Structure 1
Amino acid sequence: MISLDDMEDMCSLSRAEIAQVADHDHITTEAAVAEIERLMHEHGGPHRLEEMLCADIRAALHADDVPEARRLFALLRGFLAEHPEAVRGSR
């Protein structure tokens, strides 16, 4: 049987990014890993993950939660560094 640690290790994203997707979509970590892997292999999927992180940053800023916005911005920067195909306008 594959454990959650195995799933996270095989995922294209970091554990923090996986946790953020799970939180954003209100789903389990296991479901987030499956959703991430589907999106990472779908045309436009990485960009949709980038948009999700941007939406979370905006929500944190609108809630005046600057520390959360900073944490999310750091996640976004790391995600884009690892997955440049997610940048808007890239092909």
Structure 2
Amino acid sequence: MLTLEDCLGLCELDENEIMAIAEHEHVPEIVALEMAQYLVHLPEGTVVIKRMILDDIQHARENDNLAHAEALQNALRHFIDTHPESRPLRHD
């Protein structure tokens, strides 16, 4: 039987990113992990994940949960660093 930790080892996102998706979608971590692994392989999937994390940050700030917003901001930075395709395209 696979544990959540086993599945995280196979996933292309880290635990903080998975937790942000779980928070956004109001689902258990294992379901968020499955969603994340599916989304990361779609053409615009990383943009969707990035938007989820941004929504979580906004919600935390609106509820004056600044420590959580900062933790989510760190998760977002890591996500963007490891998934550069989520960055907007520059049009010069």
* TM-score, normalised via structure 2 length: 0.89
C-alpha distance in 2 between matches for 1:3 and 1:60 = 29
Matches within 5 A, 1:32-43: 32-43=32-43
Residue 63 (structure 2) pairs with residue 73 (structure 1): no
Question: In the aligned structure 2, how far is the partner of 1:66 from the partner of 1:4?
Answer: 28
Task: Determine the structure 2 residue equivalent to 1:3.
Answer: 3
The offset of 1:33, in angstroms, is 1.2
| CA contact 2:47–2:87 (8 Å) conserved in 1 | yes
- Deviation at residue 87 of structure 1 after TM alignment: 1.1
Q: Structure 1: which 5+ runs fail to align?
A: none
Within-5 A mapping of 1:5-44: 5-44=5-44
Runs ≥4 in structure 1, deviation > 6 angstroms?
Answer: none
Alignment length, in residue pairs? 90
Q: CA RMSD in A?
A: 1.3
TM-score relative to the length of structure 1: 0.90
Identity over the aligned pairs, expressed in percent? 30
